[in-house]
A and B are shown apart, each in its own frame.
Chain A
Amino acid sequence: GAVVSQHPSWVICKSGTSVKIECRSLDFQATTMFWYRQFPKQSLMLMATSNEGSKATYEQGVEKDKFLINHASLTLSTLTVTSAHPEDSSFYICSTSEEGTSRTQFFGPGTRLTVL
């Protein structure tokens, strides 16, 4: 399956600053990538679908101006958390989807964001 990396693996920032998280598909050209968020002891929640060369599609309740997604190439999607607040502290995970009918997804290792 596809290999997906994320950088950084963890980040601590001050409230009000912006943080960029990178998601790379290392061996697969990904036209579509997904961004999830996971709070402690909860399941993954889809935030947005990132499409190469076009605007991302955000899930209901996710602020597009706060969580900026850029998918400028087939191997890189970035999520920028702008003006971060402590409630944005979470585990952010990206994934890429295999083309075809099975729709198998391959996930990155996640980025732990802590906002002080």
Chain B
Amino acid sequence: DAKTTQPNSMESNEEEPVHLPCNHSTISGTDYIHWYRQLPSQGPEYVIHGLTSNVNNRMASLAIAEDRKSSTLILHRATLRDAAVYYCILPGAGSYQLTFGKGTKLSVIP
């Protein structure tokens, strides 16, 4: 898997937008960008994925830089239930395996 770099932790106030960055400068042309999150004592949860274009779903938006070397997960309105560790992962081509880094621990302040 291509290496990703994320901040260890971030804080957000409740009901404000949150932008979680991820750098992946060694990304290849066929690598999808995946985001998962893990709430305490639960299995990871799929959030969103994209290849080149920005993506939106009911949970979040994914903004992908034009050179694809970085991306940003956007939570439009943080709630207390969004407090989790967020992982940015690039599954390697030809492999279904995911390699989890340390992710970004998001704290949401009431």
Q: What is the predominant secondary structure among interface residues of chain B facing chain A?
A: loop
Interface residue range, chain B: 20 to 34
Interface residues of B in 5-64 (CB under 8 A from A): 30, 32, 34, 36, 38, 41-46, 49
A103-B43 in contact given A34-B97, A43-B103 (Cβ < 8 Å): no
Rounded to whole Å, the gap between the CB of A12 and the closest CB of chain B is 16
Stretch at the interface among A14-22, A60-68, A77-85, A106-114: A106-114
Q: What is the predominant secondary structure among interface residues of chain A facing chain B?
A: strand
Nearest CB to that of B32 among chain A residues?
A: A102
Q: Please report the total number of A residues contacting B with Cβ < 8 Å.
A: 26
Contact indicator B42/A109 (Cβ below 8 Å):
yes
Query: In the complex, A36→B43 CA distance in Å?
Result: 10
Binary contact track A75-116/B, C-beta < 8 Å → 1, others 0 = 000000000000000010101010001111111111010000
Rounded to whole Å, the gap between the CB of A31 and the closest CB of chain B is 10
A110-B100 in contact given A103-B32, A103-B91 (Cβ < 8 Å): no
A103-B96 in contact given A44-B44, A95-B43, A110-B43 (Cβ < 8 Å): yes
Binary contact track A16-39/B, C-beta < 8 Å → 1, others 0 = 000000000000000010101000
Rounded to whole Å, the gap between the CB of B70 and the closest CB of chain A is 20
| CB of B98 within 8 Å of the partner chain | yes
A107-B44 in contact given A32-B96, A43-B101, A46-B99 (Cβ < 8 Å): yes
A107-B99 in contact given A101-B32, A102-B49 (Cβ < 8 Å): no
Contact indicator B100/A44 (Cβ below 8 Å):
yes
Interface residues of B in 88-109 (CB under 8 A from A): 91, 95-103
Query: In the complex, A98→B99 CA distance in Å?
Result: 16
Chain A CB within 10 Å — which of B43, B97, B99, B102 has the most? B43
Residues of A with Cβ closer than 8 Å to B? 1, 4, 6, 32, 34, 36, 43-46, 49, 91, 93, 95, 97, 101-110, 112
